[in-house]
Amino acid sequence: MPNTPERPRRVTVDRDGPLLVEGPVEVVCEDGTVVTSRRFKVAICTCRRSRAYPWCDTSHRRRVKGDTP
């Protein structure tokens, strides 16, 4: 279903994972660069471990609770 003024973009929050955002999206990074994804849903990294940052590459799954940083 396309995003319209009548239907806001949906963002799904997962405590142990990325933000899932209905796409397409543009993300403005801290340094001002803009990255774009045309996918129907994108995963935005919140743990900052992703090698594909700002996109999630599931790096958050590699650390198990109790592991030392």
Cross-sheet strand order for the sheet of 41-44 = 11-12, 19-22, 41-44
Average pLDDT, integer, range 2-28: 85
Q: Give the helix/strand (H/E) hosting 22.
A: strand 19-22
By percentage, how much of the chain surpasses pLDDT 70? Answer: 81
Burial 19-31 (b: 16+ CB within 10 A, else e): ebbbeebeeeeee
**Higher pLDDT among residues 68 and 41, named by residue:** 41
Phi and psi torsions of 6, nearest 5°: -80, -20
**Predicted TM-score (pTM) of this structure:** 0.69
Average pLDDT, integer, range 61-66: 64
